[in-house]
Structure formats: structure tokens, C-alpha cells
Amino acid sequence: MRYPVIIALDPPGGEDPVSWSVRIIDSLQDEPAGYKIGLPLLVRSGPKGARDIASVMPTNTIKVADLKLADIGPVMVLTASTAVDAGYTHIIAHPFMGIEGGLDELIKYLRDVGAELILLASMSNPGAARYFDQFIDEFVVMGARLGVWGYVAPATRPHIIRRVREVLKKTPNPAAKIVSPGVGAQGQRPWAAIKAGADYEIVGRAVTRAEDPAEALERLYGRP
């Protein structure tokens, strides 16, 4: 891993999602720390396509399924298992459902299969400031109770990342990971989230829409 970056694979309409993703992974290999698929890819490629994509990701990379789960426990488990069975190791879920009958069942399942939970602490879109941001402290403490691997906090609003890191310091796992989307197409500069306390920056279009994704990644982050 040369860059603390997770590449978001969101295939544009009209592209075959599997060959588009494989081309990008071939270009980047294990230069980024990981790759992330989301619902646009999973819905269009189906579980078999998602599995074909995961199978070409280097073994030492984090494989995130950004499902943004928000349902009762058994249904989240059903959805998560589609991604886990396809080879994804980290699953993103919303916190608003709470623990009992929701996230407790999801994390139990993920533990049983050796996968990890990433909880949204807030989101990168400006509208998240109105609702999500009111509960950041509670969501971080909730994640600590559950023993999550990490949190999503927005690169677009570094003060939220700092807040998550500050609240984490008072929990049993202050080194829980923070992953931050919003670099490039959503306006934030590379490294801004890392400087604010994140472990990984999530980058999509600024790299994946470039003719040469490896060159775009190096142009954004510099030669390590």
C-alpha cells in the first residue's frame, strides 16, 4: 500500500460495471489501501459480477461494500451476506436504527464470518449538517460499544473528523479507523482528511474517470 486511499468504484452509466472496475484495479493494483463498491455497482453487476471484481483486488487490500445498511437486524444480515459471500471484508451501515434488533445482529453476523463493520458518524453532503451532525458523539460511543472497526466521517467537513477522533479518545478503542469520502469531485483536497485525523481518504471520480487512474492517483497524492 503506497497511499492511504480507498478507491470508490462507481461505474458510469453505459459502461459494463465489471470490465470497467477490472480495468481500474488492473491499473492501480495495491497502490491504494483498498477498494469500495456501492449499490450502483452491486445492483448492476449482481453478486456474481461483484465477486469477479473482488477476485481481482489484491489480497492485501481492504474490500469495502458501501451498502449504507439501515434496516432491522435480520434483513441487514441478508443484505450484508450477499457482499460478504462475494468477497467483501468491510460493510458500511447507518447508525440511526440503534443497537437492539438492529446493529447488534449485524455485528454478530460479521464477527462470525470474520468481516468488519464501519459505522457512519456523519455524511459528506452539506445536508448532513442539519440532522446527522446532531448525534455524532452518540454514534461514536455506540460504535465503541459494538466494537466496530471504524467510522465514516466527511473529508468535506474536517471539523467533524476532529470531533470523531476526540470522542474516540474517551472510548476503549481510540485507534478505531476513520475513513473519509469527499476528496476530489466533492471538492476537498487530498490529505485534508488525514491531517484532521482520518486514516483513509475515499476517492472516486477524481481517479476512476481519469484516462490513466494510476497517474491520476499519483498526481493527487504525490510520490510517496
Catalytic residue numbers, as ranges: 68
Name beta bridge partners: 116: 90
Q: Which of 8, 77, 115, 168 binds ligand XMP (CB under 6 A)?
A: 8
Considering only residues 68-127, where is the footprint of ligand XMP by CB under 6 A? 68, 92, 120, 123-124
Q: Which residues, numbered 193-212, are part of the site for ligand XMP (CB under 6 A)? A: 202-206
Give min distance, CB of 73 to ligand XMP, in A.
20
Q: Which of 34, 38, 102, 143 binds ligand XMP (CB under 6 A)?
A: 38
Query: Exposure string (b/e) for 193-223, b if CB count within 10 Å is 16 or more?
Result: bbebbbbbbbbbebbbebeebbebbbebbee
Q: Does 160 bind ligand XMP (CB under 6 A)?
A: no
Q: Which is nearer to ligand XMP, 145 or 209 (CB)?
A: 209
8 vs 144 by CB, closer to ligand XMP = 8
- Backbone φ and ψ for 63, nearest 5 degrees, come out as -120, 100
Residue 120 in grid coordinates: 457512519
Say how far apart CA 146 and CA 105 lie, in whole Å.
10
188 binds ligand XMP (CB under 6 A): no
CA-wise closest residue to 218 among 11, 25, 6, 28: 28
Question: Do 92 and 66 contact (CB within 8 A), yes or no?
Answer: yes
Nearer to ligand XMP, 204 or 213 (CB): 204
Contact call for residues 36 and 67 (beta carbons, < 8 A): no
List 184, 190, 197, 213, residue binding ligand XMP (CB under 6 A): 184
Among 10, 52, 116, 199, binds ligand XMP (CB under 6 A): 10
Which stretches within 5-72 are classed as H helix? 17-28, 39-56
- CB closer to ligand XMP out of 25 and 152: 152
Report whether 163 contacts 132 (CB < 8 A).
no
Contact between 161 and ligand XMP by CB under 6 A: the answer reads: no
Which residues contact ligand XMP by CB under 6 A? 8, 10, 38, 66, 68, 92, 120, 123-124, 152, 154, 181, 184-186, 202-206
